[in-house]
Structure 1
Amino acid sequence: MQEPIELRDRQLDSKLASTSQSRVQDEQGLGRVGKKQILKRRFGFLSILGFSCTILASWEGILSTFTIPFENGGPAGTIYSFLLVWAGTFSTFLTMSELVSMAPTSGGQYHWVSMMSPKWCQKYLSFLTGWLIVIGWLGAFASTCYLSASQIQGLVVLNHPSYVPTAWQAVLLFWFIVAAAVFVNVMASTMLPKFEGFVLILHLVGFFAIVIPLLYLGNHNSASDVFGQFANDGGFQTEGLSFLVGMVGNMFAFTGADAAVHMSEEIHDAEKVVPQSILTSVLINGLLGFGMTLSTLFTMTDATAALASPTGYPYMEIFCSATSSIGGCTVMSAIVPILVITTAVGSLASSSRMVWSFARDRGLPGWRFLSRVNAQAVPQWSILVVTIAAVLLALIILGSAAVLNDVVSLCVSALYTSYLISAFLLIWKRCTGGIREQSEMPVDTLVNTPGAPLAWGPFHIRGALGLAINAFTVVYLTVGVFFSFWPDEMNPTPSTMNWAVVGTAGTSLVSTLYYVFWAKYEYTGPVVEIDRD
């Protein structure tokens, strides 16, 4: 009996030694970019993969924003714009994977912009990028809560046709979803990695629970109807222009893969694991999203009835038509808002870490309070601020739900702009030879922070291929940002106008004024908390 006990002891000692070594390496890696380890590293590859997949939630997003690409593109436009967006997203996050591998901090884009920008605009450009990320993630959190709330109302309409959804009920549902997200992030914060791993299973199982009965029970359109039929319901001058406007719906379904970036300081071996997780999540969600797109289009035999569904969501009518059962349709449809609610949990986590990180670097008012963490190393004040902002945004529904719908475009425009600035600067540094190989730098040298030399991380696409990927990313993001400001139809009314440009430009203006009159005296870019020779 003695030998097995000794063997277990040796295995336990080996595991503890490995864990300790991993912790030291993580702290050293964060120290190389000038940051102290404050948050606790609770996430491994599978848990952060679950986090990335459920935030990206492409197949759920496709169903939620189905009308945008369908009305401006038709069945064929929906498919081809999905493939284009998938390729553009994969290219974008190849670029971002290179950057997060260089500097795996919760600040993400604004840290990268600061370390790569010319000195004359380094502070302001980093500051502006930080504000764009904050407003973009706040928009992502609010839009996720709103989508799930309105989908729950749609389920009630599906089962009780006499029910008339009201704005105040949507607000209450919105607040309930916010409260659920806060509970998981604060009260059950230590369980967040396990929660995200469990949701990954639901994300995969839910997809097959919908697609299998949908394809088996539903009538099918012909391949020519699906792949060859375009539409221009927005009345634009050409179908090509209509296609690009509708593409924004698919872009929203792929927005958010940078969520894992803002959790970097809570992930073991982040400089390797974060690139692996976000690229794997884009691949998985792309496959699932494409499968859901094809399944929905092939079984949507009555497009007019689907688009006119009293639930507000065509996918519910498509499910009912396929199953010929209200009960079956309800079960299938309920999977979507349940998973969207879990997406809200991750959105709150990511947005609060971004607020915490930006406050730590003195980029937000009240940064002394917002940069604090509790005994469990959870940034509770940042969570509180994001929660209050979302609760107040929900009141917009009482005036017009159409205005809150523009938060979808705001989310795309703000986050895509932050990606664009980062990608453009990476190309500039790449072409000017400003980034050295990691092996050329001493281990204890401060790198990848303002004023320090730049060095590639473990994930690096070398040579012309890497430059070509970065260039394609810039082109794709430029097109995406431009069309995220367009309305869904020509000659829009105030209620159908896309006001995302107001939100994005307003954020830029407010942040610029705040910078000029106050922040430029405090904000210097990412604060170097660890001095190294």
Structure 2
Amino acid sequence: MAPSIPAHAFALEEKPAYEVSIHAHNDDGLNSTDDELLVRLGKKPVLRRRFGFLAMIGFTCTMLVTWEGSLILFTTGLTNGGSAGLVYGYLFVWLGVLCVFTTMAEMASIAPTAGGSIIGSPCSPRHLLWHGTLLFWATVAYAVFINTVVGWALPKIELAMLVLHVVGFLAVLIPLVACAPATAPTHDVFTDFLNGGNWPTQGLSFFVGLVGSVFAMFGCDATVHMAEEVNNAALVVPRAMLATTLFNGALGFAMIIAVLFVTRDVDAALQSPTGILGYPFMDIFSTATRSRAGASTMIALVIIMSGAGTIAAMATGSRLIWAFARDRGLPGSGTVSKLSAQRIPMLAVVITSIVTCLIGLINLGSAKAFNAVISLSVSSLFASYIIVETLMLYRRCTGGIKATRDAVEGHQLVWGPFHLPDGIGIVVNAFAVMFGLIIFFFSFWPVATPVDAATMNWSVLMTGSVGIFAVLYYLGRARKTFTGPIVETGAVDAFRVAE
């Protein structure tokens, strides 16, 4: 979720909403510069800093799995937009998320804390759903094992995943292009639009089709929630976010262009057995390589890398739960915010996995209900982006964020080592807000018309329900315990003792 900037950023305020007992620590894994900054944000350094720049690149690249996701979500843009719409829509989304994550990177540089956003066969569908849920659970169990039993090796594992991410890209792209018997004309790839959703205009169809590319590129802010485990976080985290957006975006664009050129008949791919199931790229692989074994191997690589992203998702989700509990924002916060002897938020990992597995059960009853739940990811994330980016733009335009030398009051926001010049920053921030509003609006649209209960996009209902529940929970209970990010009393003195 989007990184927030605590109201007390860089302050040494010792009047918290909750008093927290602090004991000095000077164990391996603490970095004086990073921890001093964390203390000034009112947080006690308790997590081990194991991640460097390359490890975070691996973390975010495998979290986004952009080139893999672009293939899996190929149908959305191809149906609403066609080959040309998919190309230009991808470029528009790439520019948009680059602006979004540049803004997020600036905020992460100001306050690098883990808190983030605190301001087959159609004859037996039940059989397939059952298998899908078991695979889903197996993937979650694998992610839990990596994040707990061998959590100390997570940076090295993410580096290995980065290598596999790049090698897998080449292993799919090269045979796909080299073995294709013929390619589509350049004119068709860049000028053929398709309105497969039967919308009133091609322009409307184009915007509906953007969501597929958004799914493949959003979530880079997951890096922020690992900030308290990153060395030189105020600089490494924002750089990793932008490097990943550029690198993964380039891989995804190259894969899309390659697939479109080897696809001679878009309609045939969409109407193929795998295309009907929502995965036309599988038929495209088979047709292009003319080898069932070769296509199966390429498909397996895509699936493996997509599953590998669960490791990073589990890590960042658990850190977000832990950080929110630390600020008394969840029921049972005192227990959830505890760390294991290895300084891993073990209970937060368990909670993340249990909730995920429970959501997987929905798939047994209705695949459409399951998709309705997970459709929250786009609308809820972009809602959080819009809120913090608007506040960031307001602060920027009103001079509310000072350079270090100009900060005179304890509660003033101070720029971190990564930020854009004001003129460029205002343009980037404004475009990020505009882009976020567009994606948030179209994330509620169904893929095609006419719409019935089976084809309706229920994310608008899910988003509204979650919003109402959150408001009621806050009014009924949370407002009595949660007043925003707390300042851990004694953090400054504890750091000085440890130093």
Contact preservation (8 Å) 1:91, 1:469? yes
Per residue, is there more helix in 1 or in 2?
1
One-letter amino acid of the counterpart of residue 427, structure 2: A
Distance between the aligned counterparts of 2:253 and 2:124, measured in 1?
A: 34
One-letter amino acid of the counterpart of residue 72, structure 2: S
Match of 1:211 in 2: 173
Match of 1:296 in 2: 259
| Cα offset, 1:409, TM superposition | 3.1
Match of 2:456 in 1: 497
| Cα offset, 1:407, TM superposition | 4.1
Note the residue ranges of structure 1 that are not aligned, 5 or more in a row.
Answer: 1-18, 111-125, 127-153, 447-451
Residue among 370, 379, 394 paired with 2:336: 370
| Cα offset, 1:434, TM superposition | 1.1
Secondary structure of the residue aligned to 2:454 is coil
Match of 1:193 in 2: 155
Match of 2:319 in 1: 353
Match of 2:242 in 1: 279
Distance between the aligned counterparts of 2:386 and 2:29, measured in 1?
A: 36
Contact preservation (8 Å) 2:29, 2:48? no
Structure 2 CA distance for partners of 1:26 and 1:506, relative to 1, 3 Å: same
Residue among 135, 160, 175 paired with 2:137: 175
Match of 1:391 in 2: 357
Distance between the aligned counterparts of 1:21 and 1:499, measured in 2?
A: 45
Match of 1:55 in 2: 63
Distance between the aligned counterparts of 2:171 and 2:407, measured in 1?
A: 51
Match of 1:11 in 2: none
Distance between the aligned counterparts of 1:267 and 1:249, measured in 2?
A: 31
Aligned pairs for 1:459-474 (under 5 A) are: 459-474=418-433
One-letter amino acid of the counterpart of residue 186, structure 1: T
Secondary structure of the residue aligned to 1:395 is helix
Aligned pairs for 1:433-472 (under 5 A) are: 433-441=399-407, 452-472=411-431
Distance between the aligned counterparts of 1:66 and 1:509, measured in 2?
A: 33
Residue among 128, 146, 157 paired with 1:184: 146
Distance between the aligned counterparts of 1:232 and 1:21, measured in 2?
A: 54
Match of 1:45 in 2: 53
Residue among 234, 247, 266 paired with 2:229: 266
| Cα offset, 1:373, TM superposition | 1.0
Contact preservation (8 Å) 2:48, 2:343? yes
Contact preservation (8 Å) 1:36, 1:530? no
Match of 1:428 in 2: 394
Contact preservation (8 Å) 1:54, 1:342? yes
| 1:104 and 2:112 aligned | yes
Note the residue ranges of structure 2 that are not aligned, 5 or more in a row.
Answer: 1-26, 494-499
Task: Encode CA deviations 1:368-415: one digit per residue, 9 max, x unaligned.
Answer: 121111011111111111111111111111122122223453111111
Contact preservation (8 Å) 1:93, 1:279? yes
Contact preservation (8 Å) 1:403, 1:495? no
Structure 1 stretch displaced more, 493-502 or 285-294: 493-502
Residue among 273, 292, 305 paired with 1:310: 273
Count of matched residue positions in the alignment of Structure 1 and Structure 2 = 461
Secondary structure of the residue aligned to 1:109 is coil
Match of 1:132 in 2: none
| 1:509 and 2:468 aligned | yes
One-letter amino acid of the counterpart of residue 480, structure 1: I
| Cα offset, 1:231, TM superposition | 0.8
Contact preservation (8 Å) 1:413, 1:484? yes
Contact preservation (8 Å) 1:248, 1:409? no
Distance between the aligned counterparts of 1:396 and 1:369, measured in 2?
A: 28
Match of 2:13 in 1: none
Identity of aligned residues (%): 44
Match of 1:95 in 2: 103
Contact preservation (8 Å) 1:222, 1:298? yes
TM-score by length of 2: 0.89
| 1:67 and 2:75 aligned | yes
Structure 2 CA distance for partners of 1:329 and 1:460, relative to 1, 3 Å: same
Structure 2 CA distance for partners of 1:391 and 1:187, relative to 1, 3 Å: same
| Cα offset, 1:496, TM superposition | 1.2
Contact preservation (8 Å) 2:80, 2:206? yes
Distance between the aligned counterparts of 2:282 and 2:374, measured in 1?
A: 21
Match of 1:222 in 2: 185
| 1:410 and 2:376 aligned | yes
One-letter amino acid of the counterpart of residue 425, structure 2: G
| Cα offset, 1:340, TM superposition | 0.7
Match of 1:145 in 2: none
Task: Encode CA deviations 1:197-238: one digit per residue, 9 max, x unaligned.
Answer: 000001111111111111111121001111111111111111
Structure 2 CA distance for partners of 1:163 and 1:203, relative to 1, 3 Å: farther
Secondary structure of the residue aligned to 1:397 is helix
TM-score by length of 1: 0.84
Instruction: Give the CA RMSD over aligned residues.
Output: 1.9
